[in-house]
Structure 1
Amino acid sequence: MSTTTVTPLTTAAAETLVAAARAAAEAAGVAVSVTVLDAGGHLLAYRRDDRAVLISGETSTRKAYTALQLNAPTADLVDLVKPEGPFHSLTTALDRPLLFIAGGVPVHDRDGHLIGALGVGGGAPAQDHAFATTALTAL
């Protein structure tokens, strides 16, 4: 029997993700909130820019949670939950804080293991997704 050791997402790595997402957003002139969750869905890092709309804190956290639970970027899930999509009832079927708007991405280790998720809220969905995917390159 073999075992696989997965190195968890560290607080230092989470702070790197937050800084990278914020830098990308700042370069675009967009005020955002950024949330990083560990593999268990627990908060590792969070930051809301002073000028970010208040709801962006909630949306960034829900986007991260959704990306974590489904191990997929939220941008890839948007069409699946539309009325004609195969998972249209998922948004209301579970009592979970899921949000199917682009801006959430799973975080994987070098071996492809899911170790957490990152969510960005405050810009247009495509912007939030771009800021999140840019941040992943910082790890």
Structure 2
Amino acid sequence: MLKIELVTADGIGQQELFELYHAVGWHAFDHAPDKLMEAMQNSTGIAQARFNDRLVGLARVVSDRVSICFLQSLATHPDFQRQGIGKALVEKVFEPFPLMVRALITGTSPAQRAFYESLDFIDPERTLPEPSTVFLRHY
């Protein structure tokens, strides 16, 4: 049975989180697993999807709790994609944050664009009445 709920970082094991991240091709924390768990602890909100107690999806946000909420991570195991889990995770993780701006940074594949546009996210270059942009600085 599939269950989607808000949780704290303490409810997610490091090994199961790495298994999910690896399943979607994420390896940025392989060299520093403790940093991944620290990032989870410092998240403002976390939603998880479990199928028969197996972690199959996760969304996490960081926020100032007043004006902006940033979707930091969204991962759905490939075996469970295209079943509405990603959408449900995004909706669940944003539930406690009825804020003015919800933001994310993602790849540029047509599938990613279509998915986030289906959730009413917009490309800042298409914002009306005043166009916007996103600036990043990587260290």
TM-score, with length taken from structure 1? 0.30
* Larger-gyration structure (1/2): 2
- Structure possessing the higher relative contact order (Cα contacts under 8 Å, 6 or more residues apart): 1
**Structure with higher strand content:** 2
TM-score, with length taken from structure 2? 0.30
**Structure with higher helix content:** 1
